[in-house]
Protein backbone atom coordinates (compact mmCIF):
# COMPACT_ATOMS: atom_id res chain seq x y z
CA UNK A 1 0.00 0.00 0.00
CA UNK A 2 2.81 2.39 0.88
CA UNK A 3 4.40 1.92 -2.55
CA UNK A 4 1.27 3.07 -4.37
CA UNK A 5 0.90 6.15 -2.14
CA UNK A 6 4.55 7.08 -2.75
CA UNK A 7 4.11 6.53 -6.48
CA UNK A 8 1.23 9.00 -6.64
CA UNK A 9 3.15 11.69 -4.79
CA UNK A 10 6.26 11.19 -6.91
CA UNK A 11 4.27 11.10 -10.13
CA UNK A 12 2.50 14.31 -9.08
CA UNK A 13 5.85 16.01 -8.46
CA UNK A 14 7.28 14.85 -11.77
CA UNK A 15 4.11 16.01 -13.53
CA UNK A 16 4.45 19.41 -11.85
CA UNK A 17 7.98 19.75 -13.27
CA UNK A 18 6.76 18.86 -16.73
CA UNK A 19 3.90 21.34 -16.35
CA UNK A 20 6.32 24.05 -15.32
CA UNK A 21 8.43 23.41 -18.38
CA UNK A 22 5.46 23.22 -20.72
CA UNK A 23 3.54 26.25 -19.45
CA UNK A 24 5.10 28.47 -22.12
CA UNK A 25 4.46 26.12 -25.03
CA UNK A 26 0.93 27.14 -26.11
CA UNK A 27 1.77 30.84 -26.11
CA UNK A 28 5.13 30.22 -27.73
CA UNK A 29 3.65 28.17 -30.56
CA UNK A 30 1.23 31.00 -31.29
CA UNK A 31 3.98 33.62 -31.11
CA UNK A 32 6.38 31.72 -33.37
CA UNK A 33 4.14 32.09 -36.44
CA UNK A 34 4.33 35.87 -36.65
CA UNK A 35 7.57 36.68 -34.85
CA UNK A 36 9.65 39.59 -36.14
CA UNK A 37 12.97 38.12 -37.35
CA UNK A 38 15.06 40.76 -35.50
CA UNK A 39 13.19 40.13 -32.27
CA UNK A 40 13.46 36.37 -32.71
CA UNK A 41 17.21 36.59 -33.37
CA UNK A 42 17.69 38.75 -30.28
CA UNK A 43 15.59 36.35 -28.20
CA UNK A 44 17.65 33.37 -29.39
CA UNK A 45 20.84 35.25 -28.51
CA UNK A 46 19.41 35.95 -25.05
CA UNK A 47 18.76 32.26 -24.49
CA UNK A 48 22.35 31.48 -25.51
CA UNK A 49 23.76 34.21 -23.25
CA UNK A 50 21.79 33.04 -20.21
CA UNK A 51 22.67 29.39 -20.83
CA UNK A 52 19.11 28.15 -21.12
CA UNK A 53 20.24 24.90 -22.72
CA UNK A 54 22.42 24.16 -19.69
CA UNK A 55 19.46 24.78 -17.38
CA UNK A 56 17.36 22.38 -19.44
CA UNK A 57 20.15 19.77 -19.14
CA UNK A 58 19.66 19.86 -15.36
CA UNK A 59 15.86 19.56 -15.46
CA UNK A 60 15.44 16.47 -17.65
CA UNK A 61 17.57 14.21 -15.42
CA UNK A 62 15.68 15.45 -12.35
CA UNK A 63 12.32 14.69 -13.96
CA UNK A 64 13.41 11.26 -15.11
CA UNK A 65 14.89 10.44 -11.70
CA UNK A 66 11.59 11.29 -10.03
CA UNK A 67 9.67 9.17 -12.51
CA UNK A 68 12.14 6.29 -12.15
CA UNK A 69 11.74 6.36 -8.38
CA UNK A 70 7.97 6.38 -8.79
CA UNK A 71 8.01 3.38 -11.13
CA UNK A 72 10.41 1.46 -8.87
CA UNK A 73 8.12 2.18 -5.90
CA UNK A 74 5.19 0.81 -7.85
CA UNK A 75 7.02 -2.31 -9.04
CA UNK A 76 10.06 -2.86 -6.79
CA UNK A 77 10.40 -6.45 -8.03
CA UNK A 78 11.18 -5.03 -11.51
CA UNK A 79 13.62 -2.34 -10.35
CA UNK A 80 16.46 -3.57 -12.57
CA UNK A 81 14.35 -3.46 -15.74
CA UNK A 82 12.87 -0.08 -14.82
CA UNK A 83 16.30 1.40 -14.12
CA UNK A 84 17.59 -0.03 -17.39
CA UNK A 85 14.78 1.64 -19.35
CA UNK A 86 15.30 4.97 -17.59
CA UNK A 87 19.08 4.92 -18.15
CA UNK A 88 18.77 6.18 -21.75
CA UNK A 89 15.83 8.50 -21.23
CA UNK A 90 17.67 11.71 -20.17
CA UNK A 91 19.91 11.70 -23.24
CA UNK A 92 17.02 10.88 -25.56
CA UNK A 93 14.85 13.74 -24.33
CA UNK A 94 17.67 16.23 -23.74
CA UNK A 95 18.25 16.13 -27.49
CA UNK A 96 14.82 17.70 -27.92
CA UNK A 97 15.67 20.81 -25.92
CA UNK A 98 15.96 22.93 -29.07
CA UNK A 99 12.19 22.55 -29.63
CA UNK A 100 11.53 24.20 -26.30
CA UNK A 101 14.26 26.81 -26.74
CA UNK A 102 12.85 27.86 -30.13
CA UNK A 103 9.38 28.18 -28.67
CA UNK A 104 10.61 30.17 -25.67
CA UNK A 105 12.58 32.46 -28.00
CA UNK A 106 9.40 33.05 -30.00
CA UNK A 107 7.52 33.84 -26.79
CA UNK A 108 10.15 36.37 -25.73
CA UNK A 109 10.11 37.87 -29.22
CA UNK A 110 6.35 38.23 -28.96
CA UNK A 111 6.46 39.94 -25.56
CA UNK A 112 9.60 42.09 -25.83
CA UNK A 113 11.03 44.39 -28.47
CA UNK A 114 14.47 43.70 -29.94
CA UNK A 115 15.79 46.74 -28.02
CA UNK A 116 14.38 45.41 -24.73
CA UNK A 117 15.87 41.98 -25.34
CA UNK A 118 19.24 43.54 -26.21
CA UNK A 119 19.11 45.54 -22.97
CA UNK A 120 18.55 42.32 -21.03
CA UNK A 121 21.45 40.71 -22.90
CA UNK A 122 23.67 43.64 -21.90
CA UNK A 123 22.75 43.06 -18.26
CA UNK A 124 23.60 39.37 -18.43
CA UNK A 125 26.99 40.26 -19.89
CA UNK A 126 27.82 42.39 -16.80
CA UNK A 127 29.68 40.74 -13.88
CA UNK A 128 26.54 40.46 -11.72
CA UNK A 129 24.52 39.15 -14.68
CA UNK A 130 27.22 36.57 -15.42
CA UNK A 131 27.25 35.52 -11.76
CA UNK A 132 23.48 35.10 -11.81
CA UNK A 133 23.75 32.92 -14.93
CA UNK A 134 26.49 30.84 -13.32
CA UNK A 135 24.33 30.21 -10.26
CA UNK A 136 21.21 29.24 -12.22
CA UNK A 137 21.78 25.45 -12.46
CA UNK A 138 22.43 25.25 -8.71
CA UNK A 139 19.51 27.53 -7.94
CA UNK A 140 17.16 25.53 -10.18
CA UNK A 141 18.25 22.23 -8.67
CA UNK A 142 17.98 23.47 -5.10
CA UNK A 143 14.64 25.16 -5.84
CA UNK A 144 13.31 21.89 -7.20
CA UNK A 145 14.55 20.07 -4.09
CA UNK A 146 12.80 22.64 -1.91
CA UNK A 147 9.66 22.20 -4.01
CA UNK A 148 9.84 18.43 -3.66
CA UNK A 149 10.24 18.62 0.10
CA UNK A 150 7.40 21.12 0.34
CA UNK A 151 5.23 18.95 -1.92
CA UNK A 152 5.88 15.85 0.19
CA UNK A 153 5.04 17.75 3.37
CA UNK A 154 1.85 19.26 1.96
CA UNK A 155 0.90 15.94 0.36
CA UNK A 156 1.23 14.15 3.70
CA UNK A 157 -0.80 16.83 5.46
CA UNK A 158 -3.52 16.67 2.80
CA UNK A 159 -3.60 12.87 3.01
CA UNK A 160 -3.88 12.99 6.82
CA UNK A 161 -6.58 15.64 6.70
CA UNK A 162 -8.64 13.76 4.10
CA UNK A 163 -8.26 10.45 5.95
CA UNK A 164 -9.40 12.11 9.20
CA UNK A 165 -12.39 13.77 7.55
CA UNK A 166 -13.40 10.56 5.82
CA UNK A 167 -13.01 8.61 9.07
CA UNK A 168 -15.21 11.17 10.83
CA UNK A 169 -17.85 10.51 8.15
CA UNK A 170 -17.58 6.75 8.63
CA UNK A 171 -15.52 6.08 5.55
CA UNK A 172 -12.43 4.09 6.58
CA UNK A 173 -9.44 4.39 4.29
User: Over the chain (173 residues), what is each successive 10-residue block's mean pLDDT?
Assistant: 47 51 43 77 94 78 90 95 92 83 94 96 96 88 92 93 95 86
SS3 66: helix
What is the residue range of 148's domain? 2-168
Residue 4: partners with Cβ closer than 8 Å, 6 or more residues away: 73, 74
- DSSP 8-state code for residue 112: S
* pLDDT in the model for residue 46: 94
69 within domain boundaries: yes
With b meaning 16 or more CB within 10 Å and e meaning fewer, what string describes 64-82? Answer: bebbbbbbbbbeeeeeeeb
Look at the chain and report how many structural domains it folds into.
1
* pLDDT in the model for residue 154: 94
Phi-psi sector, 146: left (phi>0), alpha (psi -120 to 50), beta: alpha
Using CB atoms within 10 Å of the CB of residue 136, give its burial: 0 to 12 exposed, 13 to 18 middle, 19+ buried. middle
Using CB atoms within 10 Å of the CB of residue 28, give its burial: 0 to 12 exposed, 13 to 18 middle, 19+ buried. buried
Instruction: Quote the CA–CA distance of 24 and 85 in Å, as a whole number.
Output: 29
* pLDDT in the model for residue 30: 42
91 within domain boundaries: yes
* pLDDT in the model for residue 18: 52
Amino acid sequence: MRHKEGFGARLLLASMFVAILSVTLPAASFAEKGADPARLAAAKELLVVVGSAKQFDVVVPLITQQLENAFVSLKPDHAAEIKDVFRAIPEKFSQRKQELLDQIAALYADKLTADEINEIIRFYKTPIGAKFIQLQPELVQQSMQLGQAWGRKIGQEIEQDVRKQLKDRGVPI
